[in-house]
Structure formats: structure tokens, C-alpha cells
Structure 1
């Protein structure tokens, strides 16, 4: 079974801010790796109540947020909109 078979939801159109792309490049992290984690329910560095909120969001069609720390000290947020039309990679301060 591939990671795509385990996808919990559609990402829709995937976009990233220039700052997020720069941070990923500086940390030598492929955006696809984080997108697959997000789409398969690995929400990254979130407290337990936010993990549960994301699980509820998958079931009920709400917005989903993941938080991934990078080795450079930056963090990448990935947000999938409630209607699953788009997913954005961004830095927290860009929200």
C-alpha cells in the first residue's frame, strides 16, 4: 500500500509562499514529504487536542492544520481549506 492509498483527504490545488519555499530549501526538505505526512494524518508538532481537532476536521469537512519544525529553527504550517479546494505551505508568521 502506498502513501497515496492512505490519504485521508484531497489537497486540492497546492501552493506555497516564497518564504516557505526558501525555508524548505535551506533545511533541505522536500515539500512533497511534508504534504504526504499532512495528507495521511501525521500532523507534526501539535498538542493532542489539535491532533484530535484535525481528525474531527477530516470527518466533518473543516480546515486542517499541520505544523512541521525544520532543522533550521523555522516551522512550516500546512493548511488545507475546509472545502478541500487548496492546501498552502507557509510560515506561521504569514498566517
Structure 2
């Protein structure tokens, strides 16, 4: 683990994707916390998240799942991690 996740929160939209059973949220969290990010993740976002691990900022991972972009965000204080789908889906 590169950083603590804190309390894990799940938006209703993300919950519905996980209930469909195509992807395991535990696997995404494992990949998020180890920096094993999806190849299609924006390179600037990847660099910013790597810097945030070192500097204490917000860490973000994105995943393409079923035509949606799922965001995994750990806050700067490392007190919570949110799995969410942006409103523009």
C-alpha cells in the first residue's frame, strides 16, 4: 500500500455498476492503493496522483467500466476514499 484509504464511500451510480457483477470494487481499490492504474488513465492525472502520494494531495484513479468512467478519489488527509461516476455520464 502506498497510502491509507480511510473510510470507503460508494456513490449510488457506482454501487449499481458493482451490483451488475462485472467488476470487483475490492480489486479497483487494491489497484488504486498500489498505483496500478489503467493504461487509458489521463497522463496528467497519473502524474498528479503520483505527486500527491508523495506530497499529501488528492489521489485519483479512473477506470473505464461499461461505457462509464469510474473515479476513485482519496482525499488529501487520507481519511476517505470515494468511488463515483462523474455527473456528465
User: TM-score, normalised to structure 2's length?
Assistant: 0.89
1:54 aligned onto 2:25:
no
How large is the Cα RMSD of the aligned pairs? 1.4
**Aligned equivalent of 2:4, options 2, 5, 10:** 10
Gapped runs of 5+ residues in structure 1? 1-6
Q: Give the equivalent residue in structure 2 for 1:86.
A: 80
Q: How many equivalent residue pairs?
A: 87
Question: Any runs of at least 4 consecutive aligned residues in structure 1 with deviations exceeding 4 A, and if so which?
Answer: none
**Structure 2 partner of 1:77:** 71
Secondary structure of 2:18 counterpart: helix
Alignment of 1:27-66 (within 5 A): 28-44=22-38, 45-66=40-61
Structure 2: which 5+ residue stretches go unaligned? none
Higher share of residues assigned helix: 1
